[in-house]
Amino acid sequence: MNRRWLVALLAVLGVGASVFVAGYGQLRSAATQPGPATADTRVVIPPGASLRTALRLLESQGYLTDARLFEWYLRCCRDDAGAPLPAVKAGQYQMVAGTRPLDLLRQLVDGRVILEQITLVEGWTFTQWRAALAANPNVTQTLASSTDAQIMAALGHSQLAAEGRFAPDTYRFAAGTPDIDILRMALQAQDKALADAWSARAPDLPIASAEEALILASIVEKETGLASERAQVASVFVNRLRKGMRLQSDPTVIYGIRERYDGNIRRSDLIADTPYNTYTRAGLPPTPIAMPGRDALWATTHPAKGEALYFVATGDGSGGHTFTSNLEDHNRAVQRYLQRLRQQRNTK
């Protein structure tokens, strides 16, 4: 090869190298330089979206300068170039202006979606839980036409009543999560809380099974106004069960009359027999009457020491109760409570 041809070849190679370097630089810039967006926003990646679709969506919202170049970079310049392109996960994402495209992609591949939350409260009934789930716009509704029994069957527990089986808590979830998935989380959490409380229970409880502990805990939950009194309230019911006394719990009566309850318990309600009326029936009701929290479960399986058989609200606005061990003292406490109520009415 003569010198002239050698010079020409080197020139061509030099131009090619320059083009390659410039092209690589452009691709790398598309992957590592922050996009033009100037404000944070939420971006929704729809279910089934491909990587290309997701990148174009990011480009349209200003988070990528050039989605096409970024995709080329991923195809040719990754450490594992030649491997299949990563898949993105559907969901709602919080995109931060100034984030590198590579970091945005990692967010989509890892599925770091925005987490919504719902609080399901101690002492709520399953009906109230269903209403809260149905009212949350971030929960996908799949259970609207299902009965409680059908829901429990879908969760693999067709032999159990829904009441009491779900742990009250604040649950975080990705927008669009089905309602049954949230219930599944709560069911698993309650199973664990109940198992933990039952396995560590105090000796000689007049409760034959974890299921009975769950039922009694639901009554304790509904009867307790102050968290500090849970173990005392539990002790009253445990003492009554030991003596064969009826529990005489107003919340069980309310649960039994359901929609007929208008905010007041009348004497006619107390003597109207239902499976849940613990004034007319001995022992525990057939199912829980609400969702007991972890603390109520623990108090029920670890009741306070003492001989109290009665309690009545103090009526002083604290939510507390007066605990007594005999009917005479209990009646005096009831009279004090009624007197306070009368005084409060007279001062209004």
Q: In the listed set 110, 139, 160, which residue is the last one of a domain according to the structure?
A: 110
Kindly report whether the global pTM for this prediction surpasses the value 0.75.
Answer: yes
Mean local confidence (pLDDT), 209-219: 98
Same domain, 259 and 332: yes
Does one domain contain both 212 and 342? yes
Tokens of 20: 């390659």
Local confidence band at 19 (pLDDT 50, 70, 90 cut-offs): very low
For the record, the structure tokens of 183 come out as: 């219930």
Q: 181: helix, coil or strand?
A: helix
Residue 163 within a domain: yes
The pLDDT tens digits of the residues spanning 248-258 come to 999 999 999 98
Evaluate if residue 273 carries a pLDDT over 50. yes
pLDDT grade, residue 80 (50/70/90)?
A: low
Instruction: Write the DSSP assignment of 212-278 as a string of letters.
Output: HHHHHHHHHHHH-SSGGGHHHHHHHHHHHHHHT-----HHHHHHHHGGG--S---HHHHHS--TT-T
Structure tokens at 125: 């009934």
Calculate the average pLDDT of the chain: 89
Q: Which domain holds residue 85?
A: 19-110
List, for residues 154-192, the tens digit of each pLDDT value. 999 999 999 999 999 999 999 889 999 999 999 999 999
* Domain tally, the chain: 3
pLDDT at 16: 46
The amino acid occupying position 33 is: Q
For residue 11, tell me if it sits in a domain. Answer: no
Residue with tokens 């069960």: 241
Q: What is the CATH number of the domain that holds 65?
A: 3.30.1490.480
In this model, does residue 75 exceed pLDDT 70? yes
Residue 72: the pLDDT is 87
Give the residue, 124 or 67, on which the prediction is more confident. 124
Q: Is residue 101 located within the same domain as residue 231?
A: no
- Please name the residues in contact with 122: beta carbons below 8 A apart, sequence gap of 6 or more: 168, 221, 290, 291, 292, 293, 295, 296
Q: Do 28 and 85 fall into the same domain?
A: yes
Q: Of 242, 226, 239, nearest to 326 (Cα)? A: 239
In a domain, 6, yes or no: no
- Other beta carbons within 10 Å of 256: 22
In a domain, 5, yes or no: no
Angle at Cα 318 formed by Cα 129 and Cα 346, nearest 5°? 110
Considering the domain architecture, whether residues 44 and 93 belong to the same structural domain is answered as: yes
Domain boundary among the residues 165, 194, 223 is at 194
Last residue of a domain, one of 176, 194, 212: 194
Residues 6+ apart with CB under 8 A from 316: 340
pLDDT of amino acid 78? 63
**In this structure, are 261 and 312 located in the same domain?**
yes
Closest by CA to 40, choosing from 117, 94, 114, is: 94
Structure token digits, residue 63? 């988070």
- The predicted pLDDT at position 262 comes to 81
Q: Is residue 21 predicted with pLDDT exceeding 60?
A: no
Q: 168 and 232 share a domain?
A: no
Mean pLDDT of 318-330: 93
Residue 332 has pLDDT above 80, yes or no: yes
What is the DSSP code string of 139-171? EEP--TT--HHHHHHHTT-TTS-STT-S--EEE
Report yes or no on 147 lying in a domain.
Answer: yes
For residues 101 and 179, membership in a common domain is answered with: no
Q: Is residue 2 in some structural domain?
A: no
Residues 103 and 174 in one domain: no
Q: pLDDT: is 78 or 244 the higher one?
A: 244
The pLDDT of 262-270, averaged and rounded, is 86
What confidence category does residue 134 fall into, taking pLDDT thresholds of 50, 70 and 90? Answer: very high
Tell whether 190 and 213 lie within a shared domain. Answer: no
Position 80 in a domain: yes
**26 shares a domain with 122:** no
Q: What pLDDT score was predicted for residue 20?
A: 43
The pLDDT of residue 25 is: 62
Q: In this structure, are 143 and 231 located in the same domain?
A: no
Position 24 scores a pLDDT of 59
Confirm whether 277 is domain-assigned. yes
> Could you give the 3-state DSSP secondary structure of residue 99?
coil
Could you tell me the sign of the dihedral formed by the alpha carbons of 148, 154, 158, 160, in that order?
negative
